[in-house]
Amino acid sequence: MRLSRLLAIFCLATASVTAAPAQTLKLLVWEEYLDPSVLKAFTKETGIKVVEDNFDDNEGLMAKTGTGKSGYDIVSPSDYAVQIMVRRKLLAELDHAALKNLKNLSPDFTDLYYNRGQKFAVPYTWGTSGLAYNKKKVKNPPASWADMFEVEKLQPLKGRISMLDDAREVAATALLALGLDPNTGKPGDLEKAAVLLRRQKPFLAKYDSASAEDSLASGETWLAQGFSGDIATAQAENPDIAYILPKEGVSFFVDNLCILQESKNKAAAHVLLDYLMRPEVALVSMNAMKFASTNKAIKAEEIDESLRSSAALMLPAREKRVLFMDPGQEMGDAFEALFNDLKN
């Protein structure tokens, strides 16, 4: 089934392309965000070469592109990072006339707070960051973020726990456990969160975003804060991995495709964005990389059966969704300082 879909993509020749065949696009996107076969098929169809680099967190992405001289054309920031990059004038406005497949965007992801009218970003994937655990190893699994800061519950798992290597995500777990706003603008709230996070740290094996799923699947870690798509990958390798959405609420993120203002290849960049919004193309990356797509034209029956019941498609109740927002420079620095202190 999957092979037939890949062959179909390689045979597609429906796009009208005006970009010169010699053009090269440089992408800076999340690791395992796009299936490599999709980019190869795009090059075969259009003649436009694609070079992909990766980043581990939004702060790393913004650091690499903040000078406006990074050399990249397309990036994949999350919601609040789009807001920050727009404020810093790093993103180009999208030409909707060149994005005919933007019509495939699900209404759930149109006109989001950081992207009114889809002016600067094409929402491409969504997910959550919840808790995953090994059912054979964790006999008393957590049900809440508060459980992740209870010493008696952490002690049996000491050295087998990981949290994400991400300042906002880690701080959010403690803030939610305390009943505080993860988008807080109060330094005092962060100080309270820091108390919990310092209490938790001695029980952790590591802060890990890049390989959390591998550590879970292999049995190196037994309990991990993780991104839903990554946990779905671990579940495909190890059926003993379960995923929960803690009762206080969870980070609900939307990752986007954006064109940098500095790009010298904006026409070709629009061609790629439009291509990626074809349902048959989005489906390939969704099934392979296991992050849920924003594309409403994907048919449910075409989604891999294993993915339909995995962490990737666990949608929290609307009132339990936390979308991170731009905290402003001062609070942004405070989030980073808290996390750097934890890791050092």
199-208: pLDDT as tens digits: 999 999 999 9
Residue 7 pLDDT greater than 80, yes or no = no
pLDDT at 75: 98
Residue 3 pLDDT greater than 70, yes or no = no
DSSP characters over 39-76: HHHHHHHH--EEEEEEESSHHHHHHHHTTS-S--SEE-
Distance in angstroms (rounded) separating the CA atoms of residues 134 and 165: 20
Average pLDDT over residues 315-336: 94
Q: Show the tokens assigned to 45.
A: 């169809």
Distance in angstroms (rounded) separating the CA atoms of residues 39 and 76: 15
Residue 103 pLDDT greater than 50, yes or no = yes
> Considering only 43-47, 117-121, 179-183, 304-308, which range has the smallest mean pLDDT?
304-308
Reduced to 3 states (helix: H, G, I; strand: E, B; else coil), residue 343 is: helix
Average pLDDT over residues 322-341: 95
Average pLDDT over residues 6-27: 55
Residue 284 pLDDT greater than 50, yes or no = yes
First to last CA, the chain: 48
pLDDT at 15: 40
Count of helices and strands (H, E) across the chain: 13, 11
pTM summary value: 0.87
pLDDT bin (cut points 50, 70, 90) of residue 324 is: very high
pLDDT at 255: 97
In this predicted model, what pLDDT tens digit does every residue of 169-183 receive, in sequence order?
999 999 999 999 999
What is the domain partition of the chain in residue ranges?
A: 2-126+253-308, 127-252+310-343
How high is the mean pLDDT of the chain? 93
Between the alpha carbon of residue 154 and those of residues 68, 69, 133, 160, 220, the distances in Å are 44, 45, 13, 9, 16
Average pLDDT over residues 30-40: 94
Distance in angstroms (rounded) separating the CA atoms of residues 171 and 183: 10
Distance in angstroms (rounded) separating the CA atoms of residues 279 and 297: 6
* Homologous superfamily of 2-126+253-308: Periplasmic binding protein-like II (3.40.190.10)
CATH architecture of 127-252+310-343: 3-Layer(aba) Sandwich (3.40)
pLDDT at 32: 86
CB atoms within 10 A of CB 249: 19
Distance in angstroms (rounded) separating the CA atoms of residues 147 and 149: 5
Listed residue (273, 262, 74, 251) closest to 167, CA to CA: 251
Higher pLDDT, 43 or 19: 43
Average pLDDT over residues 14-21: 42
pLDDT at 288: 94
Average pLDDT over residues 80-85: 96
pLDDT at 9: 42
pLDDT at 22: 58
216 with 109: CB under 8 angstroms?
A: no
Average pLDDT over residues 145-165: 97
Distance in angstroms (rounded) separating the CA atoms of residues 73 and 46: 17
pLDDT at 5: 43
Query: 127-252+310-343: same fold as 2-126+253-308?
Result: yes
Residue 56 pLDDT greater than 90, yes or no = no
Q: Show the tokens assigned to 294.
A: 């924003």
